[in-house]
Structure 1
Amino acid sequence: MIIKPLIRSNMCINAHPKGCAADVKHQIEFIKKKFTTRSIPADAPKTVLVLGCSTGYGLASRIVAAFGYKAATIGVSFEKEGSDGGIGESREKTGTPGWYNNMAFDKFAKEAGLDAVTFNGDAFSHEMRQNVIDTLKKMGRKVDLLVYSVASSVRVDPDNGTIYRSVLKPIDKVFTGATIDCLSGKISTISAEPATAEEAANTVKVMGGEDWALWVRKLKEAGVLAEGVKTVAYSYIGPKLSHAIYRDGTIGGAKKHLEATALELNKELQNDLHGEAYVSVNKGLVTRSSAVIPIIPMYISVLFKVMKEMGNHEGCIEQMERLMTERLYTGSKVPTDENHLIRIDDYELDPKVQAEVDKRMATVTQENLAEVGDLEGYRHDFLATNGFDIDGVDYEADVQTLTSI
């Protein structure tokens, strides 16, 4: 079959197997090239566990660890596989992008002679934690870097089965902002209703630091964390114009809980293993969820244009390469701000960048959007997250199977 992107309400609901594989390969090639001029410090990671390994920052983190530092990696994510139809199947379905990304990573890691184990399942479950512990013991390895990049809308409490659902809403009052249709470029206005207290609390249960702490403590109890282990989770702060919907909204509340958890884990790991725990505040990027947040698509489009003009634009893989090589593993103390946060959103929030973004945001119209913003770049990144618009892929070619790459 010929696979074209299916867009519904600014979300792409299918994926291209070969496009996903090509994108993973492009990221790997970028890291291999970068590391030809990088010296490997003595404290470089050797065994890396990535929770939420299949897309975005989690996938990029795993690629840097494996193809940069030659580390053994274990990845955990929850993805849906593709189906070619058959008994009980009403139609052919592509898998999720992460399904094909994981398949591609495993293939390229095997070809490179790298140890890699990928689990597809619920990272919130005790069963998955035990699977990882058993695998580490079988491999005779201890984790020296734990990356927590789980992004989910639902979490089932592993102890009592309670289902928690996260929401992306403001607190106290309605938030209204402009958005951009990813394909047509049409500007429209959307609103988000304020969250209830229960919704805000449930979002913290899903997206906060509770599960991260469970993982760290279970692995520590099982004796599979190495002396000097580092763990990092990911957050976003962004510009003031988005704070009402993000930083000061439900997701921001969860991220603040994540950041507080890092301080607790840092103390525990220092005491027990001379280890460290951090939250890295990363740059805003096009993701499957950011496209439906009021104001974010327009902001990112303008931001990309400004940063590309200033020569400091980065995508996921560039951000994670810089996090690993210029923050976490330099042979020196990890640099943080006054709140113990690693800041690799520094290029985005540079006053010169933000001043120019603010200036352009105030002038955006339907007529000048392509001039003041990077609509083509935004559209490319939106499609690329699902394996479309990737260089070197023939999208007119027949895809023989949806179950492999």
Structure 2
Amino acid sequence: MSERVLIPRNRGFLFLDAHPAGCERLVADMWRACPDSADVPEGAGPVALVIGSSAGYGLAATIAGLKRAGIRGVMVSFEKAPTARRTATAGWYRTAATADIARAAGRDLVFLNGDAFSDRMKDQVADLIEDRFGGRLDYLVYSVAAPRRTDPDTGTTYASALKPIGRANRTKTLVFDDQGVPEVREVETGPAEGDDVEQTVAVMGGADWERWIDHLTGRGLLGDGFTTAALSYIGSPLTAAIYRQGTIGAAKAHLEATARSLDERLAKTVGGRAVTSVNGAAVTQSSTAIPGIALYTGLLRGVLGEDLVPPVRQLASLWDQLTGAAPLVLDDEGRVRLDTWELTDDVQAAVAARWEDATTDTIAGLADLDWFHAEVRRLYGFSVPGIDYTAPVTTDVPWPTPTA
């Protein structure tokens, strides 16, 4: 077993290593933060598939599903193992910690590591549902954020782009130097060109979600009342040009159109449902890559403080609605809205005023920088309270294997 003291090394918001003990504690903290629910007898929980289970809202969906609904089933993610030179990715360690929690709770979860876009993974998941979980799937949560996707039919690889549509976008953004000193900059992102929109939609739209449903339907694995949700985001007018009105927004619109199509189809075939769940802002490995989102999220926290709703509490609400523990409330577009706390007129006006005033000199008084900076580090297991970062830690943590 490899043990060493880990010092955080990063390039902007991207860290080169992850801290296993910090990731384990982070998952435990999420578990404690998720509201309790009525006990579900061991082995009696619904069978669920979470695609993208190791990070961000997908991780929150896994933990909240365990605690609120007592799910069992299959969790899929794509993470890198530890090597002689590098730790594993943070998601690898978070998955190991989630598996320990599931085991302690008496829930049968199988964690698969690989390309969720591939038909090979779809076959592997279908085999597990058939052989291990009685051939019936009750829920599927789709939470995939990837830079590229290879179409299994054509072999074509598509690459997503973070670009506005129609014209260049100039926006403020927040960065930190190597010593953690914040700076507010203006950055310009050129407009989508060529097939940027089509490529982004092919990666981040609803094509793969629908392919999963097709695959599982073809194997006869969808139970009566089967329900599926794809996780999405709309966000603030302050970030709309690069997000909702940009290439990613086009992909989200395709995802929502796919949900409406799937909803009609599932209602006819298994009495089921398909929805998108629009979540609120959070610090995730995906969101920090989008220009302006870091600044916006820091300012939002500055306005809301502890009233900013963490992902695990949002996903607890989603599971309650999916399982019928609470009414399923949809907007006019058929979407579950978990972002209403963020998008009220008062909150958005307060954030917009701070955005206008934000400069390198003023940002410390406008945004919760300590929280934001620590949240970024916690994505990789650093700055987690209760962890001794001067102590050596075992980095060679195995991928969880299913119990017999």
Same fold (TM over 0.5): yes
- Offset at residue 289 of structure 1 (A): 2.8
Question: Which of 379, 388, 398 matches 1:385?
Answer: 379
- Offset at residue 141 of structure 1 (A): 4.1
Give the distance between the partners of 1:26 and 1:141, measured in 2 at CA. Answer: 33
**Preserved contact between residue 229 and residue 273 of structure 1 (Cα < 8 Å):** yes
Question: Which of 315, 319, 322 matches 1:320?
Answer: 315
- Offset at residue 351 of structure 1 (A): 1.0
Tell me which residue corresponds to 1:231.
228
TM-score, length of structure 1 as denominator length: 0.92
**Preserved contact between residue 93 and residue 402 of structure 1 (Cα < 8 Å):** no
Residues 354 and 39 of structure 1, relative CA distance in 2, 3 Å threshold: farther
TM-score, length of structure 2 as denominator length: 0.92
Tell me which residue corresponds to 1:294.
291
**SS of structure 1 residue aligned to 2:185:** strand
User: Quick check: 1:6 aligned with 2:1?
Assistant: no
Tell me which residue corresponds to 1:334.
328
User: Quick check: 1:374 aligned with 2:371?
Assistant: no
Give the distance between the partners of 1:290 and 1:159, measured in 2 at CA. Answer: 30
Tell me which residue corresponds to 1:89.
none
Amino acid at match of 2:36: F
Tell me which residue corresponds to 1:113.
106
Amino acid at match of 2:331: D
In the TM superposition, 1:4-403 aligns within 5 A as: 4-31=7-34, 34-35=35-36, 46-83=46-83, 85=84, 92-139=85-132, 140-182=134-176, 183-308=180-305, 312-325=307-320, 327-331=321-325, 333-403=327-397
- Offset at residue 274 of structure 1 (A): 0.4
**SS of structure 1 residue aligned to 2:130:** helix
Amino acid at match of 1:10: F
- Offset at residue 401 of structure 1 (A): 3.0
**SS of structure 1 residue aligned to 2:354:** helix
Give the distance between the partners of 1:54 and 1:120, measured in 2 at CA. Answer: 10
Give the distance between the partners of 1:73 and 1:125, measured in 2 at CA. Answer: 19
Amino acid at match of 1:360: R
Residues 193 and 402 of structure 1, relative CA distance in 2, 3 Å threshold: farther
- Offset at residue 389 of structure 1 (A): 0.9
Task: Structure 1 unaligned segments of length 5 or more: list them.
Answer: 86-91
Residues 371 and 126 of structure 1, relative CA distance in 2, 3 Å threshold: same
**SS of structure 2 residue aligned to 1:380:** helix
Per-residue CA distance 1:143-185 (angstroms, 9 max, x = gap): 1110000110010111121111111111121112122224221
Q: Which moved more, 1:337-346 or 1:101-110?
A: 101-110
Give the distance between the partners of 2:393 and 2:316, measured in 1 at CA. Answer: 32
**Preserved contact between residue 65 and residue 73 of structure 1 (Cα < 8 Å):** no
**SS of structure 1 residue aligned to 2:48:** strand
**Preserved contact between residue 301 and residue 375 of structure 1 (Cα < 8 Å):** yes
RMSD, matched Cα: 1.7
- Offset at residue 120 of structure 1 (A): 0.3
**Preserved contact between residue 266 and residue 277 of structure 1 (Cα < 8 Å):** yes
Amino acid at match of 1:8: R
- Offset at residue 292 of structure 1 (A): 3.1
Percent of pairs with identical residues: 37
Give the distance between the partners of 2:323 and 2:104, measured in 1 at CA. Answer: 26
Give the distance between the partners of 1:340 and 1:102, measured in 2 at CA. Answer: 31
Amino acid at match of 1:35: D
Per-residue CA distance 1:214-273 (angstroms, 9 max, x = gap): 101211121111100110001111111211100011111000000000000000100000
Q: Which moved more, 1:105-114 or 1:234-243?
A: 105-114
**SS of structure 2 residue aligned to 1:137:** helix
